[in-house]
Amino acid sequence: MARLGVLAGTALLAACTPAPVPVDPLPERHQPTPAACSPEGIRITALGVDAAMGLRAMGLELVNCGTGPYALEGHPAPRLWDADRDPLAVQVIPGARSITSGFDQAPRPIVLRPGERATAALLWRNLVTDPTVVASDGAYLEVSPVAGRPAVPVDLDGSIDLGNTGRLGVSAWKRDDRPAPTPSAPPTAPDATPPPESRL
């Protein structure tokens, strides 16, 4: 009887002990993926924004990620949308004469071999000159290499804050002859071969 009582008490305690609550595993941290190569064989990425006294300059890099030569001459053709994905009415100015000086070099023909790059810049001023006009911020960007070619989506780190100027200057593409960054080599695995004396 004593043994039966002990077993009954153990069963009762087990019944009263709350079952462990399953814990969902932590979600994997999202790793940013590089921009995909477009069907045209190019990739366009933003290089960050320099800002000084209301003037903004954002670099663009175009890489020939295809398998053949890519001919390029002219200015990039950007399009902007706000945070609600509504298109923004923007006056795109080849060069930037009405915005700033130093970006009005005439375009030259470029032929990029696979892996070669070209750069350009978007320029604007964050000014509010008319309180009756709502300031616009571009949250989404697409860039055609030149007008008439298919557009490529470009990820932005921040917004293109045009104020209410509605103007966006673009410099001409130019070849970037700097060597492309090489990926770092993976660490070498340690040698698992035992020393000679341990094999005796």
Is 146 a domain residue?
yes
| Strand ranges, E, within 84-195 | 91-94, 110-112, 117-125, 136-138, 140-144, 152-154, 160-163, 167-170, 174-176
Q: What CATH number is attached to the domain comprising 97?
A: 2.60.40
Is 125 a domain residue?
yes
Is 54 a domain residue?
yes
User: Residue 36: pLDDT above 60?
Assistant: yes
pLDDT tens figures, 133-172: 778 889 999 999 999 999 999 999 888 988 888 889 999 9
- Domain boundaries, position 50: 42-176
Q: What is the pTM of this model?
A: 0.70
Is 28 a domain residue?
no
User: Residue 55: pLDDT above 80?
Assistant: yes
Total count of domains within the chain: 1
